[in-house]
Amino acid sequence: MSIDRALFDQVMVPNYAPSAVIPVRGEGARLWDQQGREYIDFAGGIAVNCLGHRHPALVDALKQQADKLWHLSNVYTNEPALRLAAKITADTFAERVYFCNSGAEANEAALKLARRYAVDHFGAQKDQIIAFDKAFHGRTFFTVTAGGQPAYSDGFGPKPGAIDHVPYNDLEALEAAMSERTCAVLLEPLQGEGGLIEPVPGFIAGVRALCDKYQALMVLDEVQTGVGRTGALYAYMHHDITPDILSSAKGLGGGFPVAAMLTTAKVADSFKVGTHGSTYGGNPLACAVAEAVWDEVNQVPLLQGVLTRGQRFRQHLEDINAEHGLFEEVRGAGLLLGAALKPAYHGRARDVLAAAVEQGVMCLVAGPNVVRFAPSLIIAEDDIDTGMHRFGQAVAKVVAG
């Protein structure tokens, strides 16, 4: 059997359109494909491989746990899950943790909990969830409806109700939509899929204040911004606020599927026994790896290094843009960055991505007009420099037509 891109079209559901490149091995910030060609990875599995590929601490944690215990039902708990939850609650606002497998599942749990909390404390009439235009919260029907991109939720029949959207960074629009019926406001502290849209000063704190005013829960989607990605353990820590519920995934497992919903004891109490669950949530293998990730990431030198590496990326992008004039601005925080294309190049972000792969560097897009970067948090400076040199060559080819 020939294992190549053509096989995908024969055996896989066609909801993806993957590259012809099939990576087979990784080390740090570098990948190699079936032909042995090397790539520098500025994509990180969309902000997932936060410590790069095959980090020794993660490999060791997985191997040790694999020799002990792989899976239990939630009729039982397990040591890796308890250790990880203890560390999360010690290092964040959270007092309680719920484990699951993906960002969508963490957001699904967050929205269900917000609704159940409102029913318990105020009554069934308090059911409105407000989210933001251009948001992305996952692909379950509840979370994709909460995401502010109708193209992802249209065409599947009647959508879950009592979900409204307002423009990001617009506190006046948010307050106009809120009332005593509002049970939760769901937002990303930095919009990822929507184009790396940064919150304006005071916006996050303003959302917190409005949630307090209307007795609504503030739900932060930190699936992409969490676990060190912005230079803090979680992005809410930059804003001097405390959310009521927070979703975490992607980087939490460093490449192993795991997610968590973080919340307070008071809010968590509305998830009584049997109200929600996950067969694989709290899996010992996943939690053992995630604990190793947590121990590595939650260190001041690493988090400070995210900021300095982010500045190095920005400088390279500015230098490339000074030569080629492709970008309108560079957005984002830490090592979650987006280079927004000038209007003359709108719709060509994927062209840039394809050209980059040809030059031996992997990046991402965030919509049709933004090239996104989410590399390893510990990527070597030499890898940044080499990868950005290759990226510059890709930009030159796109500009040259």
Domain borders along the chain are 5-55+300-400, 57-297
Cβ–Cβ < 8 Å for 310, 333: yes
| pLDDT at residue 219, rounded to an integer | 98
In this structure, which amino acid lies at residue 150?
A: P
Please give the annotated binding residues for N(2)-acetyl-L-ornithine, written as ranges: 139, 278
Largest CA distance in the chain: 62
Catalytic, 127? Answer no
In this structure, which amino acid lies at residue 85?
A: A
Token pair in block for residue 17: 């359109």
Please give the annotated binding residues for pyridoxal 5'-phosphate, written as ranges: 103-104, 136, 221-224, 279
CB contact set of 301 (below 8 Å; sequence gap of 6+): none
Q: Is the pLDDT of residue 184 over 90?
A: yes
CA distances from 335 to 174, 249, 328, 384, 389 (A): 29, 16, 19, 11, 18
Topology, domain 5-55+300-400:
Aspartate Aminotransferase, domain 1 (3.90.1150)
Average pLDDT over residues 182-201: 96
Catalytic, 385? Answer no
Catalytic, 269? Answer no
Query: Mean of the per-residue pLDDT values for the chain?
Result: 97
Q: Is the pLDDT of residue 231 over 90?
A: yes
- pLDDT tens digit sequence for 35-55: 999 999 999 999 999 999 999
| pLDDT at residue 401, rounded to an integer | 81
CATH number of 57-297: 3.40.640.10
| pLDDT at residue 133, rounded to an integer | 97
The proportion of the chain whose per-residue pLDDT surpasses 70, expressed as a percent, equals 100
Average pLDDT over residues 256-285: 97
- pLDDT tens digit sequence for 278-315: 999 999 999 999 999 999 999 999 999 999 999 999 99
Q: Is the pLDDT of residue 333 over 90?
A: yes
Token pair in block for residue 220: 């932060």
CA distances from 11 to 19, 113, 352 (A): 16, 38, 29
| pLDDT at residue 148, rounded to an integer | 86
The band of 348, judged by pLDDT with boundaries at 50, 70 and 90, is very high
Token pair in block for residue 74: 């939630």
Cα-Cα-Cα-Cα torsion 4, 44, 284, 57, nearest 10 degrees, comes to 110
The band of 338, judged by pLDDT with boundaries at 50, 70 and 90, is very high
Token pair in block for residue 368: 């049709």
